[in-house]
Amino acid sequence: MKYLLLIASDPSLPSPEPGEDGFDEYMAAWSQFDQDLNEAGVNLGGEALQGAETATTVRHHQGSTTIADGPFAELKEHLGGYYLIDVDTLDDAIGWARKLPVGTGAVEVRPIFPTDEF
């Protein structure tokens, strides 16, 4: 079954930028996680997202559409990226979510709705 691992973190917490001390170590943990997913054969894709300040929301309501700058919801934590994985069970997906090097943050594990029957 496919699961989306949505990575959220508090944007006020510092994380190293390219060229800063600690950046290579920070990225090494993410690279290792990618490698582990690939070696297990469960990685279907994933990307880091640019900051919430770059988001645009298209909202549909009663036949009209509005466009607004910013994320769709005001949240303390911001969506920073995702992984799409294919594993046998929710417990397997949670196991991978536990291994994500998010530091302080959260990972929402969401099953993908199966559309192959339609």
- Supply the pLDDT for residue 46: 95
pLDDT tens for each residue of 79-105: 889 999 999 999 999 999 999 998 888
d(CA 63, CA 74): 24
- Supply the pLDDT for residue 12: 79
- Supply the pLDDT for residue 92: 97
- Supply the pLDDT for residue 73: 66
- Supply the pLDDT for residue 34: 96
**Regions in the chain scoring below 70 on pLDDT:** 72-75
Q: Is the pTM of this model over 0.75?
A: yes
> What is the domain class of 2-13+22-49+67-111 according to CATH?
alpha beta
What are the percentages of helix, strand and coil residues in the chain, rounded to 5? Answer: 25, 35, 40
